Amino acid sequence: MRWDSLFDDLAGQVQAGERADLWAEVADLARAGRSEICWVERCLATSADVHLVLGPQPWAQVTGRCLQAAPQWLVLRTPAGDALVPTAAVRAVRRLPQRSGDLGGTTARRLGLGHVLRRLARDRVPVAVYTRGLPGELTGTIDGVGKDHFDLAEHAVDEYRRGDAVRAMVTVPFDGLSVVYVREQNRP
């Protein structure tokens, strides 16, 4: 009789140890899974707005719903228009869900910031550009995109890019870029 209770007690201890080991393994797997998730993927997982902090300036707070993303950039739908934000410009993110979305296939993951800027240049859309270090916005049309920079023909956002409308040509290095707003507006 004493042997039965001894073996029952030992069996209970083994089962409790196995359960503890199983829960520890589950926790390890969860931590390992989370270590594979990028914050940009978490932005894609929500239909609610996320809040990106790019710096201390009032314009450096971008809030909107994430439409598209890749490791180097994301696009948010904001009240001021669609905002292209380089991930390197983001200092903090608020309202980010715990779950993650999918960045898509390998093609989407390979699209760098230059690819998106080239598309804006090709479509000749008016943009408002904010950079680190400059106090206000630069408006105009992206003329060309290099490996690490783009050239902006600076003109009023409500005008077409024509020679007499261009005030200046500005080269913006990717490293200094904070946000590009697409300014779809009616033009004369």
188 lies in some domain: no
Contact 74, 108 (CB under 8 A): no
User: Quick one: pLDDT at residue 141?
Assistant: 95
Per-residue pLDDT, averaged over 169-179, amounts to 96
Report pLDDT digits (tens) over 54-80.
988 877 899 999 998 889 999 999 998
Same domain, 77 and 166: yes
Same domain, 71 and 27: no
Same domain, 145 and 115: yes
Nearest to 130 by CA among 166, 167, 86: 86
Contact 168, 161 (CB under 8 A): no
E strands in the chain: 50-53, 61-70, 73-78, 81-86, 92-94, 126-131, 138-145, 149-154, 168-173, 177-182
* pTM for the model: 0.77
Residue 187 pLDDT greater than 70, yes or no: no
Name which of 20-24, 78-82, 87-91, 170-174 the model is least confident about. 20-24
Same domain, 77 and 32: no
Residue type, 46: T
Same domain, 32 and 46: no
Same domain, 74 and 140: yes
Counted domains in the chain: 2
Mean predicted lDDT score pLDDT of the chain: 84
Same domain, 56 and 145: yes
Nearest to 181 by CA among 78, 107, 87, 96: 78
Same domain, 84 and 177: yes
pLDDT band at 186 (very low <50, low <70, confident <90, very high): low
For 15, the domain range is 1-36
Residue 175 pLDDT greater than 90, yes or no: yes
